[in-house]
Every structure is written in C-alpha cells, then in structure tokens.
Amino acid sequence: MLRPVASGVWAHQSELLRNNAVVVQGRSGVLLVDPGLTGDELACLADDLRDLGQHVVAAFATHPDWDHVLWHPALGDAPRYGTARCADVLHRLLSAPDWRARVAEGLPPEIAGEVPLDAFGLVVGLPAGATRLPWDGPPVRVVEHPAHSPGHAALLIEEARVLAAGDMLSDVFVPMLDEFDDTNDPVSDYLRGLDLLEQAAGDAVAVVPGHGSVGGADELRARIAQDRAYLDALREGRPPDDPRIGPSAEPGWEWVSDIHEGQAQSVARRREAAGTD
C-alpha cells in the first residue's frame, strides 16, 4: 500500500526487511526509487500506481545492493538511473556468467524464490559527479557519499523537502559499513556520509530510510546523532548504547546485533593492524 509522506511523495514498504520504495509525482508520471522486494510486492506497487492513474517515467537505485536494484515488468520500461559508480558495480556483476547464482546466494531464504531477477540491476549511470536527476518532475538533488556501499546516493526531493536516504538513517538497522574495500576506512567514510546528508537535508521535513520507519524533521536529526554515536563507540572499541541492538532491539530484529558484532570485530582488527589500540 502506498502511504503519503508529503505532498506528491509516497512510500511503499516491503514486509520482510521493511524496504521502502519512494514514489514522487512528476508532470507526466512518477519517479520510483528502490522498488522491492518480492514479485507480489512489486506487482502490488504497480497496481497502486495504476489505481492512482500514474505510470513510472523514471527510476533511481540509491546503491547497488540486491534489494535496491529490483524491477518488475508491470512497472514498465522507464530509464533506471544510479550514480556512475553504482552502475559500474552492477555492470561488472552482470558481466559475470554466474551472476544469477551469485545474487541468489545473498537472498534471504524466506523469499529467495519470490525475488524477480529478470530485470535485475539494469541501471544507467548518471555522469560522474551529477547532482541533479534528469526527469520531468520537481527538482531532485542527488547526494552521493562514501558510506555503506560504492556509489551510494540519497535523493533530496526539494519542493516536498523529503530526503530519500537509501540504506542510511534507519530506526531498525545500525549503520552498515562498506568493508569490501581494504584501502578505505569504513567508519570515517560513513561519518563523512552522515555529514553530507546533514548538510543536504537542511530544512527537510521528512526522511524515508531504505529500511524502517519514515521520520519527521526531528527524527531525521536524531537518527544522524544516533548513528554518529554508534560509529564513535565502534571506532573507540566501546559497547554502543544503541536501542537497535541488544535487549532493547525490536522483536524480530534481534539479528541486527549479529551485524554489529561482526562490524565490531572487523573494526577492532583494523585498529590492531594500524597499531592504534
């Protein structure tokens, strides 16, 4: 079901991981951001749009993770954009002869057979450094940053003052680091990403995270502060005081603590290797 976020902006949430697809009203159709997850959910989204008398004229993938680059024939054949780096990551993946098997390995077993892969990852890269989305609708700013995943970007829908944050600013997930590049400092990269989102958000009145609950202006700023506190504790080797993990975790989301434990161990190894303990 499409739920209103602000004037001309809606969200459609998946069941398993609470992925939020974002819909933005344009002049001749809608912009669709990060649709997911199962075939039935994507078809439901297409039906909701049809009930509104709308069709998709442009789409955007905030980053190349599997759950943000899905598609369904019922959504049409609109151009699907991403940052240049996001598109490059997907192009290299899809060039591998075993890409379907590789993607399938990473799918949650509960829905592995229900996730459509026929149009998976078919994203057109924007010019490197692009800050505007080319579409027939209200201005949308592309905010690329180094946090979480290569080529990750949030979108700021300027007139509605809504930040579509991708896999950032979640109330159910702690910050998830990009640990696949051994040359980077994933904690510093994530903190830089938060800085860029905070600067871009300005007077935003709502945030739609990739997973979890839509939040208002106060919640947006509180989540930035909460994520910074988590990352500071991670970098300093302290147990974080974070309601998303441990005994205070939301029922059914206790496994997020496992993500934290893995990240804490990885950051500790990097700290030891750098001789900063």
Provide the CATH topology of domain 2-273. Metallo-beta-lactamase; Chain A (3.60.15)
Q: Which two tokens stand for residue 115?
A: 């996730």
pLDDT band at 6 (very low <50, low <70, confident <90, very high): very high
Is the pLDDT at 40 greater than 70? The verdict is yes
Confidence of residue 274 (pLDDT cuts 50, 70, 90): confident
pLDDT at 144: 98
N-term to C-term CA, the chain: 49
pLDDT of residue 187: 96
Judged against a pLDDT cut of 90, whether residue 275 lies above it is answered with no
Q: How many CB atoms lie within 10 A of CB 27?
A: 9
Distance CA 37, CA 13 (A): 9
**Residue 78 predicted with pLDDT over 70:** yes
Question: Starting from the edge strand earliest in sequence, which strands make up the sheet with 2-6, in order?
Answer: 2-6, 9-13, 20-25, 30-33, 56-60, 80-82, 124-125
Give 213: exposed, middle or buried? Use CB within 10 Å, 0-12, 13-18, 19+: middle
Closest CA to 130 of 181, 84, 175: 84
Altogether, the residues listed in the chain come to a count of 277
How many Å separate Cα 118 from the centre of its chain? 21
Mean pLDDT over residues 54-78, rounded? 98
Whole-number pLDDT of residue 204: 97
pLDDT at 271 over 70: yes
Asked if the model's pLDDT at residue 277 lies above 60, the reply is no
pLDDT tens-digit profile of 165-174?
999 999 999 9
Lowest mean pLDDT among 26-35, 53-62, 176-185: 176-185
Q: Which residues 6+ apart lie within 8 Å of 105 measured at CB? A: none
Is the Cβ–Cβ distance between 20 and 208 less than 8 Å? yes
Average pLDDT over residues 127-135: 97
Q: Three-state SS for 277?
A: coil
So what's the pLDDT on residue 163?
A: 98
| Residue 128: C-alpha distances to residues 88, 119, 124 (Å) | 11, 24, 12
What per-residue confidence (pLDDT) applies to 270? Answer: 87
Within the chain, residue ranges assigned H as helices are 39-51, 84-94, 99-105, 186-201, 217-236, 256-273
Confidence band, pLDDT 50/70/90 cuts, at residue 276: low
What token pair was written down for 230? 């988590």
In 44-200 the beta strands, taken as DSSP E runs, fall at 56-60, 80-82, 124-125, 140-144, 153-157, 162-166
Ranges of each domain in the chain: 2-273
CA dist., res. 50 & res. 259, Å (int): 38
pLDDT for position 182 = 67
Is 16:9 a contact under the CB 8 Å cutoff?
A: no
pLDDT tens readout for residues 189-216: 999 999 999 999 999 999 999 999 999 9
pLDDT at 3 over 70: yes
SS3 helix, strand, coil % of the chain, rounded to 5?
35, 20, 45
Q: Please state, rounded to an integer, the average pLDDT across all residues of the chain.
A: 96
β-pair partners for 209 = 166
Confidence band (pLDDT; 50, 70, 90) for 134? very high
